[in-house]
C-alpha cells in the first residue's frame, strides 16, 4: 500500500520519516496516510493513520525513539475536532473516556487525516494485524505463566530485576531457576548461559560509592571454568569463574585487599545459607558447563 502524503509534507522528508516509522510498525501494519501536525506534549511534528492505529511522532528521531502517542483502532470511540487559535485540532475520545490530542493539522491536510481516522474507526484493526496481536498476547500469557513458576531460592528479586532477567531471555527461553540476593541482586540459570543481575542503591554505593545502579552480565556455559562460593567474615559471594576473571575466589570476601563483589561483573554478594540451599541446583549448572565444553571440543 502506498501511503497518502499530506500536501504540506515534503516528499523527501516524508519518505525518510516513513522509513524510520517502519521499524516500529507491527507485522502486517501499513501506513494509510501521513501529514504534518503540531503537538507540543509530547513534541510531535507528524501524524500517521495506519490500518491498526493513529500515531504521532517526531520525524527527526522516529527511528530511534519510535511512536510518542497512539490510539488503537478498537479504542476509538469518537473523533472530535475542536477549533483553537492554532487551528483545527484532532482529538480522539477513546472507549475508556480518555481524550487524546494529536495536535493542530494543516487545513489542506485536515480532511485526509480525519477521513482516514474515521475510516479506521469504522473498519477496525486489519485482520492480519489483529491475528498477530492475538498470537502475541497468547505468547505473553504463556511466558508470564512460565516465569511465575520459576523456582526462587533466597530473597525474591525486585520487579526491576525480573524485567532485566526477562530481557535476557531469547526466543522464549525461561530461567530454570533464580537465586535471589539480599541486596537486590540475582543469579539466573538459562538453557545455555547464566546471568548475574545487580541492582539498587546498595549495589551502586558499594560498587562505585555512587547512586543506584544496574549491572547485568551473561556467561555462556562453554566459557565458564567453575562456579564457586567465597565465604567471608560478613556475607559471602557467588563466583562465576572464567578464563578472564582476576582470581577473586582465591581471596577472602571482606578481607583487606579483596576485590569488591558489588563491582566485579562475575560475582554476586550472597550469604552462605542461601548458597547451601541453592547448591543442588548449582550442581546441575556445573553439569551443563561440562556438557557445553564437551560439545564445544567435539
pLDDT tens profile 17-33: 999 999 999 999 999 99
- Angle at CA 138, nearest 5°, toward 136 and 139? 65
pLDDT tens profile 166-186: 988 877 789 999 999 877 789
Tell me what the mean pLDDT of segment 133-148 comes to.
92
Mean of pLDDT over the chain: 87
Q: What is the pLDDT of residue 232?
A: 65
Residues 34 and 157 in one domain: no
Query: What confidence category does residue 202 fall into, taking pLDDT thresholds of 50, 70 and 90?
Result: very low
Residues 112 and 151 in one domain: no
For the entire predicted model, the pTM comes to 0.71
- Domain that residue 160 falls in: 140-297
Residues 100 and 199 in one domain: no
Residues 112 and 173 in one domain: no
Tell me what the mean pLDDT of segment 207-212 comes to.
44
Q: How many CB atoms lie within 10 A of CB 218?
A: 16
Tell me what the mean pLDDT of segment 110-119 comes to.
95
Residue 223 lies in a domain: yes
Residues 105 and 170 in one domain: no
Residues 111 and 222 in one domain: no
Q: Which segments of the chain are extended strands (E)?
A: 4-5, 31-39, 44-50, 53-57, 69-72, 76-80, 83-84, 87-94, 99-104, 151-154, 177-180, 186-189, 193-200, 213-220, 224-231, 236-242, 267-269
Residue 18 lies in a domain: yes
Residues 95 and 181 in one domain: no
Residues 253 and 177 in one domain: yes
- Between 144 and 254, residue with greater pLDDT: 144
Residue 47 lies in a domain: yes
Q: What is the pLDDT of residue 245?
A: 65
Contacts of residue 250, Cβ cutoff 8 Å, sequence gap at least 6: none
Tell me what the mean pLDDT of segment 152-160 comes to.
92
The DSSP annotation for 130-187 comes to HHHHHHHHHHHHHHHHHHHT-EEEESPPPHHHHHHHHHH--TT---SEEEE-TTS-EE
CATH number at residue 217: 2.30.29
- Report how many domains make up the chain: 2
Q: Is pLDDT above 80 for 251?
A: no
Residues 172 and 264 in one domain: yes
- Angle at CA 53, nearest 5°, toward 50 and 54? 85
> Containing H/E element for 120?
helix 110-123
Q: Is pLDDT above 50 for 210?
A: no
Tell me what the mean pLDDT of segment 77-93 comes to.
82
Residues 84 and 228 in one domain: no
Amino acid at each position: 500500500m502506498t501511503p497518502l502524503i499530506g500536501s504540506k509534507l515534503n516528499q523527501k522528508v516524508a519518505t525518510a520519516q516513513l522509513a524510520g516509522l517502519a521499524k516500529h510498525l507491527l507485522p502486517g501494519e501499513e501506513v494509510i496516510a501521513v501529514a504534518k501536525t503540531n503537538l507540543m506534549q509530547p513534541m510531535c511534528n507528524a501524524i500517521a493513520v495506519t490500518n491498526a492505529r493513529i500515531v504521532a511522532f517526531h520525524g527527526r528521531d522516529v527511528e530511534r525513539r519510535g511512536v510518542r502517542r497512539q490510539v488503537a483502532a478498537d479504542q476509538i470511540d469518537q473523533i472530535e475536532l475542536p477549533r483553537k487559535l492554532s487551528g483545527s485540532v484532532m482529538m480522539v475520545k477513546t472507549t475508556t473516556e480518555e481524550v487524546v490530542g494529536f495536535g493542530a493539522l494543516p487545513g489542506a491536510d485536515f480532511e485526509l487525516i480525519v477521513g482516514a481516522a474515521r475510516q479506521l474507526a469504522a473498519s477496525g484493526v486489519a485482520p492480519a494485524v489483529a491475528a498477530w496481536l492475538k498470537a502475541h498476547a497468547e505468547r505473553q500469557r504463556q511466558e508470564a505463566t512460565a516465569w511465575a513458576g520459576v523456582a526462587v531460592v533466597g530473597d525474591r528479586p525486585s520487579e526491576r530485576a525480573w524485567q532485566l532477567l526477562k530481557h535476557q531471555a531469547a526466543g522464549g527461553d525461561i530461567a530454570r531457576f533464580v537465586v535471589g540476593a539480599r541486596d537486590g541482586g540475582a543469579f539466573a540459570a538459562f538453557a545455555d548461559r547464566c546471568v548475574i543481575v545487580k541492582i539498587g542503591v546498595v549495589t551502586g554505593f558499594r560498587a562505585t560509592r555512587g547512586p543506584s545502579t544496574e549491572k547485568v552480565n551473561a556467561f555462556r556455559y562453554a566459557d565458564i571454568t567453575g562456579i564457586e562460593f567465597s565465604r567471608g567474615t560478613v556475607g559471602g559471594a557467588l563466583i562465576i569463574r572464567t578464563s578472564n576473571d582476576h582470581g577473586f575466589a582465591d581471596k577472602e570476601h571482606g578481607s583487606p585487599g579483596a576485590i569488591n563483589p558489588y563491582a566485579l561483573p562475575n560475582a554476586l554478594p550472597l550469604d552462605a545459607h542461601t548458597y547451601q540451599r541453592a547448591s543442588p541446583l548449582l550442581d546441575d549448572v556445573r553439569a551443563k558447563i561440562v556438557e557445553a565444553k564437551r560439545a564445544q571440543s567435539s
